[in-house]
Structure 1
Amino acid sequence: MALRADWLPALTAFESAARHQNFAHAAEELHLTASAVSHHVRKLESRLGVALFQRHARGVALTADGRKLADAAGSALADVDGVLRSLRSGREDHDRIRFTTLHSLTYTWLTPRLPEFTQAHPNLRLSIDTEVALTRFDEPGPDFGIRHGPGHWPGLTAHFLMDEGLLPVVSPNFPGIDQIREPADVARQPLISDHSRQGWHDWFRAAGVHGAKFDERLTYTDSTGAMNAAVFGMGIALARSRIVTPYLESGRLQRLPVPTVKARWGYYVVYPSHRRLRAAAQTFVDWLLALPKD
């Protein structure tokens, strides 16, 4: 059976719905309505004479025939997408890697490691976006992102990068620092927080301090702001282990003799599941994932 051009919209809608296991998410990705995606899928099922999805109250699931077609369609569309992207890109774009990540992670963890990559790959160029809002991977958006979270996002492939811990830190010149020996002592001090997914409530609970009343004197949107406030002696900051390392190594901050709590979320490299990374971006991701994490 020759593949006619009028099959492509239906195959595209089916591939997205199969990847998301959800017509609404596919519709959002393709800028269609959920009913339009459903129409494309039913049209494809009618032409093929097979059921591609099992419909139920909670959503849809692929049939055996649907899984077979989804594997082939996903691979084929990814190949076409990769070729189209390479043809659209000029030489500068071919060598440029665009990615999005957190400002705090870039400032304290990534940037100190970048000289190794740039020396090994002097022909590649990096564009790093550290805006707070999550970036959509539309054209001409980033190749990939480094996200902090649970490790699964609809429509995205996620590769685990590293985990982290939560630990209280303070300036070596903080008044009464020698009297802070237990988690309960921390609760009696002025505290600094940021907008991370876990905060002081989580740390006190994990450290065995229940029902503690504490004073969050300062709150920052970004972890680097909280770290700098602690450097200037304004209180105790709840630090993320990946972010605080250069502050500890330089002596600007020191950890307190209390537990480090393993965080519920980690860092992941993510990119659209339907799209293969360009060669330049794949080179950087491979380097990133191979970095020592300790």
Structure 2
Amino acid sequence: MTLRADLLPALAVFESAARHQNFTHAAEELHLTSSAVSHHVRKLESRLGVSLFQRHARGVSLTAEGRLLADAAGSALADMDGVVHKLRTQGDEQARIRVTTLHSLSYTWLIPRLPDFSQRHPELRVHLDTEIALTRFDDGGPDLGIRYGPGHWPGLSARLLMDDDLFPVASPALPGFGEIHAPVDLLRHRLIADHSRQGWMDWFRATDTHGAPVDEHHTFSDTSDALNAAAHGLGVALARRRIAEPYLASGRLVRLPGPLLKARWSYYVVYPAHRRLRPAASRFVDWLLAQGQA
């Protein structure tokens, strides 16, 4: 006898009934009535010409023929479930984009823009990693990264995302804020620094302010932490424009008098030079570059 498609629902119901050895429990699992389960089992028995269950007052139990079919049906369904899970996992992985970047850039620049990407590509999923350690782009690792630096890293392709500028900022609530009229006035306040290659000494040198000591009173490893501290009135911070945008837009920070200092480094999108980007990651790179140009 050839297995016909119309028997597949009955086989699925039988497998559940055989596993539970109970029609009522099978009905609960399959969201059917007990009579519907019994109907499917009797249909299967009729087509096969054998009894699959022994019916008795306390319930049902498998016959030898029923045990043989139950073992085969259970194994087949388990194999199918494994294949379906594998296919679903592969589909999810193809839709996943693994990105590594700096916490400061992620928090203030990338995350506010992600809803736009999600609206354009609702089927894609972004996995964002902001570990400060230098990421290795091994198999199974990130698809791409956003780095702040000189633009060349061994083994990586680097595409310019955007440049940056530095300038001083402070909270309008900072005591003495209204008395800041020139760069030299900043020296009367506590200066907040981060671990960037360029700092207050570079900026004051660009203003031709000489003679007065430059004391970096508070230092933070993360640029967004330095700006947050300034927004709470701790002192005056030297901001990178790309990181400071949301603080300036909300009015929590205000740019202070003095020139823009062009940053020596820029932001780059990087990915392994030895392998081609997956389609999902390539779409994310195109979107990133458009955001950087905007």
Query: Into which bin does the TM-score normalised by the smaller protein fall?
Result: 0.5 to 0.7
Q: Look up the match of 1:68.
A: none
State the Cα distance separating 1:193 from its structure 2 match: 0.8
Contact 2:164 2:240 in 1 (8 A): yes
Q: Is the 8 A contact 1:190 1:234 kept in 2?
A: yes
Tell me, yes or no, if structure 1 residue 218 matches structure 2 residue 192: no
Counterpart contact for 1:164–1:240, Cα < 8 Å: yes
Structure 1 portions without partners, runs of 5+: 1-86
Q: Structure 2: how far apart are the matches of 1:186 and 1:228?
A: 18
1:169 equivalent to 2:154? Answer no
Q: Which SS does the other structure have where 2:188 is aligned? A: coil
Q: Contact conserved, 2:170 with 2:236, CA < 8 A, in 1?
A: yes
**Aligned position for 1:99:** 99
> Which position in structure 2 is the counterpart of 1:108?
108
The match for 2:128 is 128
Structure 1 residue 209 displacement after superposition? 2.0
| Structure 1 Cα separation of the partners of residues 266 and 149 of structure 2 | 6
CA distance in 2, matches of 1:139, 1:287: 24
Which secondary structure state, in structure 2, belongs to the residue aligned with residue 187 of structure 1? helix
- Give TM-score scaled by structure 2 length: 0.68
Other structure's SS at 1:252 match: coil
Cα offsets for 1:253-290 (capped at 9, x unmatched): 10112111110100000111111111100000011111
How many angstroms apart in 2 are the aligned matches of 1:215 and 1:230?
16
**Residue 276 (structure 2) pairs with residue 282 (structure 1):** no
SS at match of 2:157: strand
Does the C-alpha gap of structure 1 residues 138 and 292 become closer, same or farther in structure 2, counting only changes over 3 Å?
Answer: closer
Structure 1 residue 240, shift from structure 2 partner: 0.5
Native 8 Å contact 2:167 2:259 kept in 1: yes
**Aligned residue in 1 for 2:256:** 256
Residue 145 (structure 2) aligns with = 145
CA distance in 2, matches of 1:209, 1:270: 38
Which residue type is aligned with residue 289 of structure 1?
Answer: L
In the alignment, residue 200 of structure 1 is paired with which amino acid?
Answer: W
| Partner in structure 1 of residue 203 of structure 2 | 203
Query: Would you identify which runs of 4 or more consecutive aligned residues in structure 1 move more than 6 Å?
Result: none
- 2:187 corresponds to 1:187: yes
State how far apart, in whole Å, the 2-side matches of 1:211 and 1:241 are: 28
Query: Does structure 2 retain, via aligned residues, the 8 Å contact 1:147–1:268?
Result: yes
Other-structure match for 2:240: 240
Q: Which amino acid aligns with 1:189?
A: H
SS in 1 for 2:286: helix
Hey, what's the Cα distance between the residues in 1 that align with 2:234 and 2:159?
A: 37
User: C-alpha root-mean-square deviation of aligned residues, in Å?
Assistant: 1.5
1:140 match: secondary structure = coil
CA distance in 1, matches of 2:156, 2:274: 8
Distance in 1 (CA, whole Å) between partners of 2:293 and 2:204 is 26
**Shift in Å at residue 293 of structure 1?**
4.0
Answer with 210-219 or 277-286: which moved more: 210-219
Letter in 2 for 1:173: A
Secondary structure at 1:110's aligned position in 2?
helix
1:11-22 aligned within 5 A: none
Q: Partner amino acid for 2:161?
A: L
C-alpha distance 131-212 of structure 1, shift in aligned 2 (>3 A): farther
Number of residue pairs the alignment of both structures matches: 207
Larger radius of gyration: 2
Structure 2 gaps, min length 5: 1-86
User: Percent of aligned pairs with the same residue?
Assistant: 63
Cα distance in 2 between the residues matched to 1:190 and 1:292: 33
Distance 2:210 2:268 in 1: 32
Report the CA distance between 1:211 and its aligned residue. Answer: 4.7
Distance 1:254 1:135 in 2: 34
Q: Which amino acid aligns with 1:129?
A: D
